[in-house]
Amino acid sequence: MTEVSLLSLVKSYGGAPALRGISLSVGHGQFVSLLGPSGCGKSTTLRCIAGFEEVTDGRILFDGKDISRKLPEKRDIGMVFQSYALFPHLTVAQNLAFGLEMRKVPKAQIAERVARTLDLVQLTPYAERYPKALSGGQQQRVALGRALVIEPAILLLDEPLANLDAKLRDEMRGFIRDLQKRVGITTIYVTHDQNEAMTMSDLVVVMFDGAIAQAGTPEEIYNTPSTEAVARFVGNANILDLPAANPGAGTIDLTLPGGASLTIPAPEKPAARLGIMARPEQIALTGAGQGHLGGRVTRRLFGGGYIDYEIATDFGVLAVQTPANVLADEGQAVGLLLDPARLWPVARDAAA
């Protein structure tokens, strides 16, 4: 297992910055996802780690050793691409053996390691098939096996599930995470899909415009986002403008429209403007005239085990998600109950 450190990493193309001084530490055996919209710099970060892009400034360390100027083949990495990049004229077993042959591994060891890896990625019955005879999920497992069979120090994956349908994507998430835990390899995973990042990762790194907006566990990113942008990118979020005062260290008081107040945790970093985040499932629906806020149902969408409501309030339309047995009709007046333990202050975007 290997530790990866990025120290003030900068990458520019013709003077235009793609990465703006990124610093990040990935621990031994961690599964870390780089999450963000297209063009935010997450794939560029991965390519710099792999050595496919030359860094403009800053350093990349593997176990404390500077590898920033090393060639890709000298970095001891395994890479899985979105396109799989399999050799169509080689069988599954031959695809796995290729990297070992290039490293001049003895034939007996190649056969042993290929057989072991085929078993690991559950492809032993398909060893003699060609890629065109495999499903998308099987091809993805071949790509994983080819990256793992060389026994790299670090596994890098660049949106590997983007070409799969929704059901297969869900299955492969669990497969990749379980495989990574069994192997124990340090893994950096690029995705724009928040569900992938949240369900698979030890650490989620949210990126915007070539910079890290926040890094934390999935729970931290979802429940305690640092900014409005992070809150809205990772799941649905209602952002409320409520008068706030700081009565003491670590808490702030919120004044509700009816005059009542709630005390919630204060943000770690001061912000010029604060908004109060409430996730849709963190707001309870109650009877009209009850709760902290009043509103009217403008839309109801049945989602199976839950119902998504849109509620018109003095703060605009709020999203509320309830269990499927909590029923209200469109047009009905309702009350909204806020749980102070689940509200969270976020820095408002400048344009908000």
For the stretch 304-343, pLDDT in tens is: 999 999 999 988 899 999 999 999 999 999 999 998 888 9
3-state SS assignment for residue 269: coil
Start-end of CATH 2.40.50.140 domains in the chain: 230-347
Alpha carbons 74 and 214: distance in angstroms, whole number: 31
Decide: 335 and 293 in contact? Cβ < 8 Å: yes
Q: What is the mean pLDDT of the chain?
A: 92
What are the φ and ψ backbone dihedral angles of 90, each rounded to 5 degrees? -110, 145
What is the side-by-side order of every strand in the sheet holding 154-158? 77-80, 154-158, 186-191, 31-35, 203-208, 211-216
Other Cβ atoms less than 10 A from the Cβ of 181: the count is 12
Residue 78 pLDDT: 94
Residue pLDDT, tens place only, 109-161 = 999 999 999 999 999 999 999 999 999 899 999 999 999 999 999 999 999 99
In sequence order, the 6+-apart residues with CB closer than 8 A to the CB of 16 are none
Query: What's the pTM?
Result: 0.91
Segment 26-49 shows an average pLDDT of: 96
Segment 2-13 shows an average pLDDT of: 95
May I ask the CATH architecture of the domain 4-229?
A: 3-Layer(aba) Sandwich (3.40)
pLDDT > 70: what percent of the chain? 97
Residue pLDDT, tens place only, 249-268 = 678 888 887 777 888 888 77
* Confidence check: pLDDT of 352 > 50: no
Segment 26-54 shows an average pLDDT of: 96
Segment 199-204 shows an average pLDDT of: 96
* Confidence check: pLDDT of 240 > 70: yes
Start-end of CATH 3.40.50.300 domains in the chain: 4-229
Decide: 100 and 151 in contact? Cβ < 8 Å: no
Residue 249 pLDDT: 65
| Domain at 230-347, CATH homologous superfamily | Nucleic acid-binding proteins (2.40.50.140)
Alpha carbons 152 and 156: distance in angstroms, whole number: 10
Rg, the chain, Cα only? 24
